[in-house]
Amino acid sequence: MIGIEQNSGELSTDSLIGRVKDFLPYFLKRTRLQKVLDGNSISNIQRAADILAEGKVIIMNMGGVQGFVVDGSNRKAIERVGELKERNIYENPLVIGASTAVRNELVDFEKMPDSMKIHDPRSYDIPHFFIFPIKEGAIPEGVGMKDLIWGRTAPIYWNNNDLSLMALEYALKQRNESGFIAGSSANRHGEDPLRTAEEALNQFGRGSNSVSLILADYYLENSMEGGVSHIIFGLDKEGRLIPTRPGQIEAESYRQVYPNLYIPSTWKDHPKSRRVNLEEFKSKRFPLKSKND
């Protein structure tokens, strides 16, 4: 056994503890190297897709915060996220991360009122959530929710500037044609979302209650202050397209992609939100830091 000296065939408790302390930094570093990989590497994304296809959970940066990510077609993986978050996943379901192609597979466009008809790929040049009606049977329980008016719905997130997310979805579809990206913020229920891969490793990277892999994006981690919350859009009872939860981009900015957007007089933007020009936003990968930058 490396590093253990024998003394009449026995090893004292003090000596053993000393050896463990000597090797602890090595084992922790090795664990980190095995669990945390560069999320901008194609080979690492391929490895992550293998893991998702096996019904396991990874963590990756989802537009500013760390998120649990699974193959949303796999019920076992969905329930595993509930275990990690320590919450009822059916009462607090996962959201979907879907490109235009996958949205076309999942969204029930026949149910969409006129206010939602203008919805093209350019919409996701500015990241946000959009609550869509979903085709019957297209997603399992634990993803999305039931709406009394619109039936099965789900918030869908995408970011046309997030090449890692695009590559991961493509790689997953190669392994499971009916698979899609689904997830939730990486945190225990009631706690703040984690911002960095290091925080994710410390909380969910070791022991039995751990994820299989963490894809790190240090560019995003270093480009933000305090994480980023994204605005959510949905429909009111009249079928009008409205903002339902504020984020760090002002609702008014989205008129560039949603001309039919209705902003109620009672609406209040996030205290740290800022007005964004779409063309300027597209020229940078992720320009949001804080309102006063």
Low-confidence winner among 102-116, 152-166, 216-230, 271-285 (lowest mean pLDDT) = 216-230
Neighbours of 80 (CB within 10 A): 19
Alpha helical stretches, state H, the chain: 13-35, 42-53, 75-85, 100-106, 163-175, 197-204, 218-223, 278-282
Helices (H), 112-162: none
Residue 258 Rama label (left phi>0; alpha psi -120 to 50; beta): beta
- Summarised one tens digit per residue, pLDDT across range 114-150 is 766 666 777 888 889 999 999 999 999 999 998 888 8
Residues 69, 60 contacting (CB under 8 angstroms) = yes
| DSSP assignment string, 100-139 | HHHHHHHB-GGG--GGGT---GGGGGS-EEEEEEB-TTSS
Written as one letter, the residue type at 154 is A
> If pLDDT is split at 50, 70 and 90, which confidence band does 244 have?
very high
CB 267 within 8 Å of CB 165: no
The one-letter code for the residue type at 37 is: L
How far is 186 from 204, CA to CA, in rounded Å? 9
pLDDT (tens digit, 9 = 90+) per residue, 82-122? 999 999 998 889 999 999 899 999 999 888 877 666 667 77
pLDDT digits (tens, 9 = 90+) for 18-45: 555 554 454 444 445 579 999 989 999 9
Cβ(110)–Cβ(142) under 8 Å? no
